Structure formats: structure tokens, C-alpha cells
Structure 1
């Protein structure tokens, strides 16, 4: 009977999730450059590894590439949610090959911190050489932006986004 108990204990131990007690794990991070709408954002994804108390939130701080205070974001976690997607407010002055800091906290309903994550996001392109200065389209039907397409014609060259710092 004792060997059966030992075997069951070993089997149960083998079924435990590896990865510790952290409720979320980083699964992706990048900069998104939306050429048509002329904006860039951070995009960070987290996968759920452990349950979290109902009513918990994720708070993120993104380094501001233009300088100044970090950009912040808060998202509520839901019981059925397996992936958390954090998209920052629009950013400017993103530089190629420069790491930008992102700090993430998982906060319980009582205000206690369940987890902290620190990472960096690095772009493979400069924003100033990638995005136009103005959105190419406007409105829900993606009409040509009249400030860019004068008389409905494309300019010979597009004015590119610039960084003043």
C-alpha cells in the first residue's frame, strides 16, 4: 500500500505547473507602427499562468520615447481571460535599436501587489523614417486625408514624422 501512495505523490508532483507562482508571463513585446494613421504604440502581451483573484488589475508604465513622464495604462483582469494585451497611448520619437523600459504590476483587489515585471522593448526602425507626419486616411471609411492628398492626388514625396528632441 505504501508504494502506491509514493507513486501517487510522484504523479501529482509531475502534474504541477512549472513556472512558479507568477500569475502572468510575458509572451510578446514590440512597437507597432501604423503607417496609414501615422501613429506608433508599444504592444505587450502577457499569458495567464496562474489564477488571480477576481477584480485584479494590471498596471503598466511605458517609458516615453519623447521624454517626460512615463505613459500609463490600467487593465482589469477577468476570470476567463487567458491573454492580456497592453497597448500604450500613442508615442513619438521612437529610435531604432534603443531599449525602452516597461514596468508592469499585477495588483490584487485589496491593493496588494501580486507580481512585478520589468522588461524593455526595442524597435528595429526609427519612427521618423517610418511614419508619415500626418495620417494618410481619415474617418471610418478611410478616405484620403485632404491635407496630404491635395486635389485627390498623391504628393511626389510624403512628409515624414519628425522628433523635436
Structure 2
């Protein structure tokens, strides 16, 4: 029958087309993959100073994200430089199975200077053999000095009553420079 056309949509053509599409998608996925071996164990997502003027407290810290599989109950350790000149503050947290983001912070500080970098050393210690999987040193710089904090908490008690120990009319020596 010379006038009859054969359909191009046969099962064989459909199977070949789907196989071709699968090969192309696999090649794109393979080319765009991230190699876990090339990543560091931890990524420092951010670091900063925190000044809580209401309670007259200042500290600094950072957030670390686990980028590679690590044994549960491994430890992230950090040594924070003491702005007052004492020995570094040692802080540690244990890794658990429920999260990959960890925040570490120094204890309350005194003597923070504006625009001075303070050193932080971070280590990831593997549970079991104690191997150091990650070690990095970085600095954190404050935009403010300790002088912006009041000499005592601004409020006391659950009703946020004014602190009677605070000098009447107290203002920060740097208040005019902050605006």
C-alpha cells in the first residue's frame, strides 16, 4: 500500500528516546555534582560580637556548619582570645545526629576594643581516636568598644524595672557616635 504512512511513534522509538534523555540527564547530573572529598569538614558560616546592653553583657562567637559526614559525638572545640589579656577561653560542643549547625560563643567579656581583631581557633576532634579533622584560625573584629555598655544592667526583675544601681541619666560615652 503505497499511500499508507507508518507511525513514527513506535514502542522502539519511544524506548530509544527515553534512554537518550536518561543519558543526557545523567551526564548533566554527573557534571554538576559536588565531590564530598573536596569539601572541608566544617564551614564557618559567620562570626560576630554581641552587645546586650539591657543586661550589660558582651561576648563573641561563631556558627559552624558540618559539611562532611563525621562520627556522632565528635567535638568542636574553640579557643577565644580574651580581650582583657588573660588566657584564651576554651569552649567545646558535642556533635549529635539531629543537626549540622552549631553555635559556639565566648563567656561574658570585659575590655573589648573597637576595630581590634580577636583570634579564634577552631578544631574538630573525631570521636573515638581523637584525630583532628579540621583546624582553622580566624579573627573577629568589633565595631563597638566596651564603653557602649552600661556599668550595670538597665533593668532588673521580671517587670523590667529600672535598675536602682545605675547612675541616674546614664548615657553611653559613645552614644553620639553611634547615630
TM band (smaller chain): 0.7 to 0.9
1:100 equivalenced with 2:118 (yes/no): yes
1:120 equivalenced with 2:139 (yes/no): yes
* CA–CA distance in structure 2, aligned partners of residues 78 and 124 of structure 1: 34
**C-alpha contact (below 8 Å) 1:133/1:159 kept by paired residues:** no
Please state whether the residue corresponding to 1:12 is helix, strand or coil: helix
The match for 2:84 is 66
**So what's the TM-score if we normalise by structure 2?**
0.74
* CA–CA distance in structure 2, aligned partners of residues 45 and 33 of structure 1: 17
Q: More displaced, 77-86 or 90-99?
A: 77-86
1:1-165 equivalences in 2 (<5 Å):
11-12=29-30, 14-17=32-35, 20-110=38-128, 111-128=130-147, 130-148=148-166, 155-158=168-171
Gaps of 5+ in 1: 150-154, 161-165
Aligned-CA RMSD value: 2.6
**Higher Cα radius of gyration:** 2
User: By how many angstroms is 1:138 displaced?
Assistant: 2.5
1:35-90, Cα deviation, whole Å (9 max, x unpaired)? 00001001211122112111111110000000010011111111221211111100
Please state whether the residue corresponding to 2:50 is helix, strand or coil: strand
Q: Which has the higher helix share?
A: 2
* CA–CA distance in structure 1, aligned partners of residues 95 and 156 of structure 2: 33
User: By how many angstroms is 1:30 displaced?
Assistant: 0.7
* CA–CA distance in structure 1, aligned partners of residues 99 and 139 of structure 2: 24
Divergent runs of 4+, >3 A: 7-13, 139-143
Aligned residues: 152
**So what's the TM-score if we normalise by structure 1?**
0.80
